[in-house]
Amino acid sequence: MSDTVMDPVCGMQIRTQDAAASEEHEGRTFYFCSKACHDTFVANPHRYGHPAEEHGHH
């Protein structure tokens, strides 16, 4: 049984056990396909940490 999640930076579907890196942001854990995606996320977590907000406004 695998747990598949989306890399928020590149949009790739990855399994948590295959993730190259992970990062907690505002109480959620995000997983990344590569160190490069992790570095991109860490540099700008607010850009990538809220994918659901792309389709809605406050």
Structure-token pair, residue 35: 């160190």
Structure-token pair, residue 15: 């399994």
Query: Looking at beta carbons only, is 17 or 58 nearer to Zn ion?
Result: 17
Query: Residue 23: what are its φ and ψ, rounded to 5°?
Result: -150, 135
Instruction: Provide the binding-site residues for Zn ion, judged by CB under 5 A.
Output: 7, 9-10, 12, 33, 37
Query: Looking at beta carbons only, is 9 or 23 nearer to Zn ion?
Result: 9
Q: Are 44 and 30 in contact (CB under 8 A)?
A: no
Give least dist CB 1 to Zn ion, A: 23
Give least dist CB 41 to Zn ion, A: 9
